[in-house]
Amino acid sequence: MTASNLHLCTQAYARFSAGDVDGLLELFHPDVEVLVAPPNFESGTYRGRDEYRELLKRWAASWDEMRIEPREMNAEGDWILAVVDYVGRGEGSGAEVTQPSWELSLWQDGMCTRYEVYWDSAQGSEAFDRQKGVRRSN
């Protein structure tokens, strides 16, 4: 299952980077829960594809170009921790900005059912470690 989940996660980032939001959302469960942790200005919990689509629209509004470049992926059961860089070109200014992110996703039956975004490496790593601990105790 892990290899398949890693492939799906890689596909999700590729679709986002290609601007294929509909294709991206096909990989997410209709009732997906998305957590964006502070200090992100959009921090909060978003439920379902529609709320996640609206979040993506708001994120994209300030950028002429936005892509996600995965640097590293670690899997434990159905959970994946991806260390990625968001790379964007500012709308109008053309300035390129890079923001690292630690992203935890849960893949079940070929779909992402939970997605967590952390801008802090310690938060992202701790969230992944918690999930590994939950898996081991079951």
Give tens-digit pLDDT for 4-59. Answer: 999 999 999 999 999 999 999 999 999 999 999 999 889 999 999 999 999 999 98
pLDDT at 1 over 60: no
Q: What is the pLDDT of residue 137?
A: 46
Q: What is the pLDDT of residue 69?
A: 97
CATH number assigned to the domain covering 2-137: 3.10.450.50
Q: What is the pLDDT of residue 135?
A: 56
Pairing mode of beta strands 63-76, 44-47: unpaired
Handedness of CA 94, 41, 44, 82 (dihedral sign): positive
Domain ranges across the chain: 2-137
**pLDDT, tens digit, 9 for 90 and up, residues 103-118:** 999 999 999 999 999 9
